[in-house]
Amino acid sequence: MNPNGSKVYVANNGDDTVSAISTATDTVTTSIPVGVEPTGLAVNPDGNKVYVANSVSNNVWVIATATDTVIGSPIPVGKIPVAYGIFIQSPLRFAGTPGKANCHGQSVSALARQYGGLNNAAAALGYASVGTLQDAIMVICEG
């Protein structure tokens, strides 16, 4: 979601696009072609760019939110990239350090405190369940 809440961006893994959805009308305003199998998105803190991790093409595409168009060339990254936007927004909402034994526990505790429980955190962050939120945290923590 962009910072002012007017748009939500969704990775469409099966058709290699990102949909921009207006929260005022709950409709798709555009579908933006990106790399192969977009797996996750991250909106920068200013809200003017969406970064799209493409798990098969092993790159990241950047979308300008003002125009909902791709800008620049794809950025090559490691194999099977995944992005979870909530963890890079400001203020930082991800407390654990990837690779550390306490990463998962610290992250779960921070999210539960911030949102008043894990059920609330999962719902606020767009996860279908607490289990899918915890799976996402594990992916980041295993870094």
The per-residue pLDDT for 25 is: 94
Q: Report the predicted TM-score, pTM, of the whole model to 2 decimal places.
A: 0.60
Tell me which DSSP letter residue 87 carries.
G
**109 strand-pairing partners:** none
Task: Look at residues 117, 71, 93, 134 and name the one whose alpha carbon lies nearest to residue 1.
Answer: 93
- Report CA torsion sign: 127, 103, 13, 5: positive
Q: How far apart are CA 113 and CA 87, in angstroms?
A: 15
Q: Hey, what are 128's tokens? A: 């279908």
CA distance 39 to 82: 6
Mean pLDDT of all residues in 98-115? 78
pLDDT digits (tens, 9 = 90+) for 50-92: 989 888 998 999 999 999 999 999 998 888 777 655 443 433 3
The pLDDT value given to residue 88: 39
Is the pLDDT at 98 greater than 80? The verdict is no
